[in-house]
Amino acid sequence: MGVCDAMRHNTPVGKPTAMSAPHLPKVAGIDPMVPVSTHTAAPAEGLPSAPGALIQDRLVGWVSDLTTLHELTERLAGTSTLDSALHELLAAGAALVGAGRGLLVLEPAGAGGPSRTIGLGLAHAELGTIETVPRSATAYGRFLDGLPDTDVPLASPDILADTGLDPRCREVAARLGYAASYAQPLAARTAGRLGAAVWLYDEPAEPLERQRHLVGVYARYAAEHLARLLELERARADAAAMAEELLPGGLPRIPGVRLAARHRAAPGGGGDWYDALPLPDHALGLSVGSAGGSGPAALAAMGRLRAGLRAYAVLEGEDPVAVLSDLELLLRLTEPGRAATALYAYCEPGRRTVVLAGAGHTPPLVTGEWRTEFVETTLSAPLGMLSCWEAPSVEFTPRSGETVLFYTDGLLRRTGATTDRAFARLHSAAAGVPKALRQDPGAVADHVLRAVLPEGADRGTGEDVALLAARFD
């Protein structure tokens, strides 16, 4: 059984009753058939010593240890999210110290967040039971609080027999059926204290010195990896917060139309936007678009394009072609190396008319009780791709009770399907909105997102999604 299988099945390195045995069972690259020295055992009395054999024995043990650590650290390095890294660390540590269960508490020093608690072989309710023990009475709590003399691992080989422990510790251990624990602090050189891992044994036991050394080396590497993932997650959270700040804080209320919007930011921050602007004579300007690229540069470009489009809509909002032509000029002058797509619609809710133009953008979708169809728009290259952009606008009239969906192409790309299949999935999702939900544009938007992007289909794709729904009365 290799490292992967051992960790997947939570196979302990040794049974708790045999934790003081001089050799480790086969797990994570350690072969029980190879005699492995504990580095402290003396030759048996009455037998001739064999220095060469002893050295070879130790070398085999060291090679086995290096192989184990190499396999485990490679698996950990392959994790790209904080949650996957935490679960990998907890499972690998359990295999190294020979425990079947455990928990890991992530609580970076200085309230740097994010904080979370995960378990191995423990249900959510069991984790809650463990958390009822006073924090100061637990090893992980003492680590996290930075109490004196808590910067080294702590073993509790017989919890039920240790009268020095808090009575609540023994009570919870008896209820959950574990009799011993081994706690390992997690700290990185630059980030400082990150959290602690605790592994639980079903019988009184404690890891061998060699096992402690291996899990300590692994934990130090894991802490540095966690620190990098924490920094990445904070950067992603900051980018998402910045993107939300650049989007409208609210949607206008115009007689004859109701609006709802949904936005899902990409992990690295994307450049998709939506906007709704009240115009004179109870008119409404609606726009969606996407600035090419990702990260802070795309966010900044998105903010400039959205602000520019709002200004042009106020000046000449009745002519979507003129609005996008001005936006093309703005993009070419300010960011000549960037491309963008945009769609702008001038709506008169009282007359239920919509005049729109698009620059390389996906067509809107109108859906209601009697029809669901894409609006036919003229073909055009994206903004920034031509020396001068101009394409004719189109006009259509939504029926009473129909909802027009404006969306960015990230919605299609997140499906992972081909373009034709993605459009078909979107059309099917809109057509399948239950009648009871069609009165609320927010419910329509939510249903479409759930149907187009089932659970797991929209994770880790690096695509922004913006969806604007306008229901006409």
- CATH classification of the domain holding 124: 3.30.450.40
- Indicate whether 155 and 109 sit together in one domain: yes
- Indicate whether 421 and 314 sit together in one domain: yes
* Residue 389 binned pLDDT confidence (cut-offs 50, 70, 90): low
Closest by Cα among 333, 326, 334, 343 to 382:
343
Closest by Cα among 307, 350, 366 to 331:
307
User: Is residue 43 situated within a structural domain?
Assistant: no
Q: Where is the domain boundary, 200, 218, 237?
A: 237
Please give the residue range of the domain that contains residue 87. Answer: 3-11+57-237
More confident residue, 26 or 239: 239
Q: Where is the domain boundary, 178, 204, 237?
A: 237
Q: Where is the domain boundary, 191, 218, 237?
A: 237
User: Is residue 34 situated within a structural domain?
Assistant: no
- Indicate whether 254 and 224 sit together in one domain: no
The total number of structural domains that make up the chain: 2
Mean pLDDT of 203-226: 93
Distance CA 270, CA 266 (A): 6
* Residue 213 binned pLDDT confidence (cut-offs 50, 70, 90): very high
More confident residue, 231 or 448: 448
- Indicate whether 289 and 388 sit together in one domain: yes
User: Is residue 340 situated within a structural domain?
Assistant: yes
Q: Which stretch, 37-51, 81-95, 280-294, 323-337, has highest mean pLDDT? A: 81-95
CA dihedral over 192, 194, 195, 199, signed as positive or negative: negative
Claim: this prediction has a pTM higher than 0.85: no
Instruction: Supply the DSSP symbol for 254.
Output: B
* Residue 289 binned pLDDT confidence (cut-offs 50, 70, 90): very high
The pLDDT value recorded for residue 40 is 44
- Indicate whether 198 and 279 sit together in one domain: no
The pLDDT value recorded for residue 143 is 81
User: Is residue 84 situated within a structural domain?
Assistant: yes
Mean pLDDT of 457-465: 61
User: Is residue 23 situated within a structural domain?
Assistant: no
pLDDT, the chain, mean: 83
Mean pLDDT of 196-215: 94
- Indicate whether 209 and 300 sit together in one domain: no
Residue 221 has pLDDT above 90, yes or no: yes
pLDDT tens for residues 325-340? 899 888 888 888 888 9
Lowest-pLDDT choice from 35-44, 49-58, 232-241? 35-44
The pLDDT value recorded for residue 466 is 92
Tokens representing 246?
């650049």
- Indicate whether 265 and 381 sit together in one domain: yes
3-state secondary structure the chain: CCHHHHHHCCCCCCCHHHCCCCCCCCECCECCCCCCCCCCCCCCCCCCCCHHHHHHHHHHHHHHHHHHHHHHHHHHHCCCCHHHHHHHHHHHHHHHHCCCEEEEEECCHHHCCCCEEEEECCCHHHHHHHCCCCHHHCHHHHHHCCCCCCCCCEEECCCCCCCCCCHHHHHHHHHHCCCEEEEEEEEECCCEEEEEEEEEECCCCCCCHHHHHHHHHHHHHHHHHHHHHHHHHHHHHHHHHHHHHHCCCCCCCECCEEEEEEEECCCCCCCEEEEEEEECCCEEEEEEEEECCCCHHHHHHHHHHHHHHHHHHHHHCCCHHHHHHHHHHHHHHHCCCCCEEEEEEEEECCCCEEEEEEECCCCCEEECCCCEEECCCCCCCCECCCCCCCCCCEEECCCCCCEEEEECCHHHHCCCCCHHHHHHHHHHHHHCCCHHHCCCHHHHHHHHHHHHCCCCCCCCCCCCEEEEEEEEC
The pLDDT value recorded for residue 292 is 79
pLDDT tens for residues 123-153? 999 999 999 999 888 888 888 777 666 678 9
Q: What is the DSSP string of 142-182?
A: HHHTT-TT-SS-EEES-TTT-TTS-HHHHHHHHHHT--EEE
pLDDT tens for residues 411-450? 988 888 888 999 999 999 999 999 999 999 999 999 999 9
- Indicate whether 361 and 424 sit together in one domain: yes
CATH assignment of the domain containing 425: 3.60.40.10
User: Is residue 153 situated within a structural domain?
Assistant: yes
The pLDDT value recorded for residue 464 is 83
Residue 455 has pLDDT above 80, yes or no: no
- Indicate whether 372 and 269 sit together in one domain: yes
User: Is residue 50 situated within a structural domain?
Assistant: no
